[in-house]
Structure 1
Amino acid sequence: MRFGIATFVTDEGIRPAPLGRALEERGFDSVFLAEHSHIPTSRESPYPGGGDLPRVYYRTLDPFVTLSAMASVTTDLLLGTGIVLMPQRDVIHTANESASLDLISGGRLLFGVGAGWNREEMRNHGADPRTRGKKMTEQLKALKALWTEDEAEFHGDHVDIERSYAWPKPARDPHPPIYLGGESEAALNRLVEVGDGWLPRGQTTFDEIRRVRADLAERGKPDVPTTVFAAPADPDAVAGYADAGVERVTFMLPTLPESETLAKLDELAKVKEQAGG
C-alpha cells in the first residue's frame, strides 16, 4: 500500500515548496491537488458535501503552477491533480501545461481528471453541463494525441484540432497515467474508454471498490491502479482498502498555516506508519 495526501493549496495556507518538502520528508509518495478556477456567488449548485461551501473551494492556487513549485524542491514525490476539471479547460493549453510539468519533474505527473459538479462554474467557461461528459471523453482522446504524436489532430463533436505540432512531450512513456475521478456509471465507462487508473472518493465502500474493479476486469481493464481520494485516516480502513485491491490511499490534509500543517502531517504520518507505510 502506498500513501499520499489530498489537499487544497490556497493563498491562506502553507506555501507549495515547504509543503512538498514536508511530504517527501515524512515518506508520503504523492500529493493530489484540487482545482477550482472560481466559484460564482449565485451558488446555484449545492455543495456535494452538504452545508455551506468551504472557503478553500474559491481560493485554490492553479494546480500546475503549484505542483511545479513542489517539483522544484523534491526528487521522488508524485505530483497529482485531484482533480482537473477538464470540461472547463482548453485542451491544448492543458496538454502543454501537463506535459511541461511532467518533463521538468522527470515523469512524476499523475493526471487526475473529472467532469465537475458546479454547473455555474462550468457555464462561465463556456461548457454546457449537459454535454460535459461527452466533451471530456473527446478532450482526453485529443490530449493523448497531443502528448504522443509528432503531428497531432483530433476531430469530434466538441473538440476539433487541425494537424499540429505540439511540444513539449511528457517525460513519461507513453504518457502520464490518466486517473478518472468519480463513481458514476458514466465516469466508469469513460475510464474503460480513455483512462488508465481510478480515483474514487473516500466514501466509496470496500464492496463497491471490489465490484467496480471486477467489472472493469471483465471489460478489458484488469488490475486498474486505484487511488482513494481523501480516505479515512484509520489503519483499519487502510487494511480494508488494501483487501479491496487499492494501490494507494490519500489522507485529506486541511488547509492551514505552515506550523499547523506540519503538526497535522506528523499525525497523518503516524497513521501511515501504523498502517504499515
Structure 2
Amino acid sequence: MDALIEIVGTAIVLAEFKIQKIYCSPLPLFSGTTHCQHGIIPLPAPATAELIKGVPTRATGITGELVTPTGASIATTLAAEFGPMPALNITHIGYGLGSQDFPQPNFLRVFIGQEENNKTLKGEDILVLETNIDDMPPEILPAVVSKLLAAGAQDVFLTPLIMKKGRPGYQLTVLCYPQVKEKIMTLILKETSTLGVRMRPEKRQVLPREIKTILTPYGPVEVKIACLANGEVKLKPEFDSCYECALKNNRPIREVYLAAQNIAQETLTKKNKNS
C-alpha cells in the first residue's frame, strides 16, 4: 500500500506542477541488512540493486536503507539525467523527512523551477575512452563508430597515428556518460581488435541545444539549434536529413544544406521579433 501511495502521489504532484523534465543527483550507496520474507538480506535490497544498475551513484558510508525499491523505481523511471542540478529560476522547494536517524540529515529535497536553457552553459561529467588500433582492416572502423553512437556515445572520432615499428594506426576516442560506460566498453572490445581501453573522467561545458524540423522546398530537415549567453543563436542542419532530401530530389547536398540553414535563420528571426 505504501508503494502505491508513493507512486500515485508522485504522479499527482508532477501533473499538478506541470513538470516537464526531472534531474536527479547520483543515488546514495549504503550498507547494512534488512528483514524480508526470506530472512535477513544485505542492503541495498535485491530489487533496489537491480533498479540502480547503470545509474550514477555516490558512496556515503552510512549503515541503513537510504534508497528503497519504490524510490529507486521512481527515480530511475522519471529522471531524464543524473548529475549536478542545472541552472534554474527556482519557484518552489519541498522537503520529505524520514523517520530514521543517520549521521547526516535524513530528508529528500526537491527544487522546482524554470530551466535557463538559453542563458548559461551546462556543466556535466563525461568519460573519455581511448584505444589504439593498428591490426584490423580500417574499413571496419566507420561501422564501429556508427554502432558506438547508436549505443549512446556522445561523440566518437578517429585520429591517425604512427605506432611502434612504424606501423600506421588509429586512435579511437569515445565520449560517453558514466551510465553507459560498460555498454560502450564491451562494444569496443567486441567490435575491434584491441585488448584494452584507457578511460578517464573529464568535465565539460556545453551549450543547451535542441533539434527542430524545418520545412524546406526539398522536404523536412532537422536543424540543431544552440543559444549563447548573449542570446546569439548557432544553428546547423543535420547532415543525414540533408542527405536524404538531396537524394530524394536529385540535388546537391550543399544546396539543401544552405536552404535549410537560411530558412531556419529566417524562422528564428521572425520568432524573436514577435516575442
TM-score normalised per structure 1: 0.22
More helix by share: 1
TM-score normalised per structure 2: 0.22
Larger RCO, structure (CA 8 Å, separation 6 or more): 1
When Rg is computed on C-alpha atoms for both structures, the one with the higher figure is 2
